[in-house]
Structure 1
Amino acid sequence: MTDASHSPAAADPAVAKVHWDQSQMRTEFANVINVVSTREEFSLLFGINSTWSLAEGKGFEVKLSNRIVLTPFAAKRLHALLSERIAEYEAKNGALNIAP
């Protein structure tokens, strides 16, 4: 869900408002993401790691569920939006430390 205060229309009434139609939206969970890119597109691959034990020596089992394909410009906008939201989250909840 989007907060109206983050909308360009909230700051400038001359900017057209965006109506977010959620009638066909699905929600899916992913705990794994990978990104593959070419000159023309970025593909975001989402899936679920269902590995219970690495002791069996089989490696990770990731079941991919969704692929989102973006233009490089849309990928850059996504990067900017995610950076802003993560900074807001960390300001409220503390730093998110992830392993390299």
Structure 2
Amino acid sequence: MSINWDDGEMESIYANIATATANREEFFLLFGTHQNWRGTDIERKSVDVQLSKRVVMSPFAAKRLAIILQHSMKAYEDQFGEVKL
């Protein structure tokens, strides 16, 4: 099967942080930014994150995305080296 991607109405955003939650029917991917470049404050117990986009998808689409990300990360690390967290 061939997929023809139409990017005519696509928007690009920058996110340096993401998280995911789910219920029985859907997965929710939340994307945002934090300003960690200001350094960390030992007294500070939290980080402010400005959420900008939410993607809602079925469990089937979420699993396909997880597989695609896993393959993409492997290809990236094969070329550029391990990404350490």
TM-score by length of 2: 0.90
5+ long unaligned stretches in structure 1: 1-14
CA distance in 2, matches of 1:18, 1:44: 23
Q: Give the Cα separation in 2 of the matches to 1:97 and 1:70.
A: 28
Matched residues in 1 for 2:25 and 2:53: separation? 19
Q: CA deviation at 1:59?
A: 2.2
- Once the two structures are TM-superposed, the CA of residue 18 in structure 1 deviates from its matched residue by 1.5
1:53 and 2:39 aligned: yes
Identical aligned pairs, as a percentage?
A: 37
| Structure with higher strand content | 2
Aligned twin of 1:72: 59
Larger Rg over CA atoms: 1
| 1:34 positional shift | 0.7
- SS of the equivalent of 2:56 reads strand
- 2: CA distance, partners of 1:49 / 1:33: 10
Matched, 1:37 2:22: yes
- Which residue of the partner structure matches residue 19 of structure 1? 4
The count of corresponding residues between Structure 1 and Structure 2 is 83
Separation in 2, partners of 1:24, 1:96: 32
Deviation at 1:50, TM superposition (A): 1.9
Normalised by the size of structure 1, how large is the TM-score?
Answer: 0.77
Q: Which amino acid aligns with 1:44?
A: L
Long gaps (5+) in structure 2? none
| Alpha-carbon shift at residue 57 of structure 1 (Å) | 2.0
Runs of 4+ that moved beyond 6 A: none
- What is residue 97 of structure 1 aligned with on the other side? 84
> What letter corresponds to residue 42 of structure 1 in structure 2?
F
